[in-house]
């Protein structure tokens, strides 16, 4: 190989390294911006709850509005990174296979939640007054099912699409996957802590489940569908909200 050819090869390699460093720097900034946005959301939640003029603002409206704004912000930032959106789970590739796999695991999670509530009712006196299925509660919530489905995808886009994807791309350390799952789960739990501590703790195993599934599929559509189904099943069909209230009263107060 001539000296000229060697020099050209060296220049190409150096440019590739520089481009990779620039990409990682941009992705690092993006991750920091997302974390800052989520932190500001949590602070704003506390401000709204404590402010006498804002505390009557419907919590759902506030949450949906702010998280939707974070989603728009994150998507705009993603486009500026010049990376394929598939890196952030926005892809139709293998969607059918991923959806079937996601729904299969979701079915077993729903069965597990059903079994858990049955155990709570039959084995722990504090929960004995609850019904396994709360049809009245389920029917009263039918009007918010579709908005909740949409909101589920918003949450998945922020936590898995924006945050976990970035961590998986950036981390080059042993147990990078486990670290990404841990950080994403902590952030996901913090988003729910304004509801109550019991709720924030309850979503941890579900977040770990979705993080592991996302790490395998890298598709936020199938994960969002799972999130929506489990959420509707747990919150409105089984009415775990009452379970969490009782848990808070007896074990966290």
Mean pLDDT for the stretch of residues 209-237: 94
Q: What's the CA gap between 189 and 191, in Å, rounded?
A: 5
* 8 A C-beta contact, residue 26 and residue 87: no
When pLDDT is averaged across residues 50-79 and rounded to a whole number, the result is 72
The pLDDT confidence band at residue 53, using thresholds 50, 70 and 90, is very low
Higher-pLDDT residue of 6, 134: 134
Over residues 141-147, mean pLDDT: 73
| Average pLDDT of the residues in 193-209 | 90
CB 110 within 8 A of CB 233: yes
What dihedral do alpha carbons 151, 157, 158, 160 form, nearest 10°? 120
Residue 144 banded pLDDT, cuts 50, 70, 90? confident
Given a cut of 80, whether residue 61 has pLDDT beyond it is no
d(CA 205, CA 220): 18
- Domain residue ranges of the chain, discontinuous segments joined by +: 3-252
Q: Which two tokens stand for residue 99?
A: 């959806």
**Between 59 and 185, where is the model more confident?**
185
Token pair 């599929």 is found at 217
Average pLDDT (142-171) is: 87
Confidence grade of residue 151 (pLDDT, cut at 50, 70, 90) = confident
Q: Are 95 and 221 in contact (CB under 8 A)?
A: yes
């Amino acid at each position: 190989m001539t000296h000229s050819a060697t020099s050209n090869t060296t220049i190409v390699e150096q440019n590739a390294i520089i481009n990779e460093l620039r990409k990682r720097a941009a992705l690092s900034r993006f991750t920091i911006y997302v974390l800052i946005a989520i932190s500001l959301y949590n602070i704003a939640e506390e401000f709204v709850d404590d402010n006498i003029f804002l505390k009557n603002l419907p919590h759902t409206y506030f949450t949906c509005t702010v998280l939707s704004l974070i989603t728009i912000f994150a998507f705009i930032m993603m486009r500026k990174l010049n990376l394929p959106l598939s890196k952030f789970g926005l892809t139709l590739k293998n969607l059918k296979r991923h959806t079937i796999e996601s729904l299969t695991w979701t079915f077993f999670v729903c069965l597990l939640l059903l079994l858990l509530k049955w155990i709570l009712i039959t084995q722990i006196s504090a929960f004995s007054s609850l019904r396994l299925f709360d049809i009245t509660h389920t029917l009263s919530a039918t009007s918010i099912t579709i908005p909740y489905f949409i909101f589920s995808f918003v949450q998945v886009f922020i936590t898995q699409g924006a945050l976990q994807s970035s961590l998986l791309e950036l981390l080059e350390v042993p147990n990078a996957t486990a670290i990404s799952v841990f950080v994403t789960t902590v952030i996901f739990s913090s988003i729910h802590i304004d509801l109550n501590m019991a709720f924030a703790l309850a979503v941890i195993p579900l977040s770990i489940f979705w993080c592991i599934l996302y790490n395998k599929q890298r598709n936020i559509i199938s994960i969002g569908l799972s999130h929506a189904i489990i959420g509707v099943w747990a919150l409105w069909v089984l009415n775990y909200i009452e379970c969490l209230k009782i848990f808070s009263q007896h074990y966290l107060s």
